[in-house]
Amino acid sequence: MFIEPYHNQQQTGQRTGWIEVICGSMFSGKTEELIRRLNRARIAKQDVKIFKPAVDTRYHHEDIVSHNASSISSIPLKDPAEMLSLAGNCDVVGIDEAQFFQESVVEVANRLADAGKRVIVAGLDMDFQGKPFGPMPSLMSIAEYITKVHAVCVVCGDVANYSYRKIPAQNQVLLGETDSYEARCRKCFHT
Ligand SMILES: Nc1ncnc2c1ncn2[C@@H]1O[C@H](COP(=O)(O)OP(=O)(O)O)[C@@H](O)[C@H]1O
Ligand SMILES: Cc1cn([C@H]2C[C@H](O)[C@@H](COP(=O)(O)O)O2)c(=O)[nH]c1=O
Ligand SMILES: [Zn+2]
């Protein structure tokens, strides 16, 4: 269980920012974990801003919705640079489906953290071919904290870290859920 780190701000008088990445396959609980952390921040009376790529219209145009139907409202964006102005004076920035943003989201996350904000990023670390997805490897490189969550392999019940595509499409971006994808372990992904 991830516990919010304690950052002593008394000594410097300045807020210290940082970046957390939540990664894993589809159905691994990334969105649930993101929502859990953001809800806890709100309980702590922190001002939270939440963003997702405009391309992700799967369950809802604006809300972030988990496969288990928990949800939180968010602002859909085409360009990650918009986060810099929209974040304003907030304490915490949440970003879901980060794999769909351009590489510039890496610089934006750094700038938000440098400005003293806690930045929590969730996204797929690998695509359906088992290849690193979009800006996720770079985001993991610059993050202070990384949490890899796991699904359950629907074939054998083992720990799953791959998103197996059930249909023949070869383009990297293809929105979908259980209709097009299933969580699989290493062995079942490759057989
Ligand atoms: N194969 C699976 N392994 C684990 N959870 C699954 C699986 N299939 C469906 N789920 C559901 O998905 C939920 C996680 O959803 P979500 O947080 O949206 O995951 P992610 O954002 O990583 O795709 C689980 O709590 C569970 O109810
Ligand atoms: C593996 C893979 C996934 N996608 C899409 C499918 C879903 O719409 C999202 C992932 O959502 P989740 O919250 O992690 O379940 O990404 C894709 O476009 N390409 C892929 O290779
Ligand atoms: Zn398996």
Query: Would 60 be classed as within a structural domain?
Result: yes
Catalytic, out of 33, 97, 103, 182: 97
33 a catalytic residue: no
Quote ipTM for the complex. Answer: 0.99
Query: Would 81 be classed as within a structural domain?
Result: yes
Q: Which CATH number is 57's domain given?
A: 3.40.50.300
Query: Would 188 be classed as within a structural domain?
Result: no
Query: Would 176 be classed as within a structural domain?
Result: no
Range of the domain at 112: 18-149
**Minimum mean pLDDT among 38-42, 60-64, 89-93, 139-143: which range?**
60-64
pLDDT digits (tens, 9 = 90+) for 66-91: 998 889 999 999 999 999 999 999 99
Task: Give the total number of structural domains in the chain.
Answer: 1
* DSSP letters spanning 5-37: PP---TTTSSPPPEEEEEEESTTSSHHHHHHHH
pTM of the model: 0.96
When pLDDT is averaged across residues 79-108 and rounded to a whole number, the result is 98
The predicted structure's pLDDT at residue 5: 86
Q: Which ligand is located closest to the Cα atom of residue 59?
A: 2
User: Is the CB of residue 125 below 6 angstroms from any atom belonging to ligand 2?
Assistant: no
Look at residue 8 and tell me whether its pLDDT is greater than 70. Answer: no
Q: Which ligand is located closest to the Cα atom of residue 72?
A: 1
Query: Would 1 be classed as within a structural domain?
Result: no
Query: Would 140 be classed as within a structural domain?
Result: yes
Look at residue 4 and tell me whether its pLDDT is greater than 90. Answer: no
Please state, in angstroms and rounded to a whole number, the distance separating the CA atoms of residues 69 and 41: 20
User: Is the CB of residue 158 below 6 angstroms from any atom belonging to ligand 1?
Assistant: no
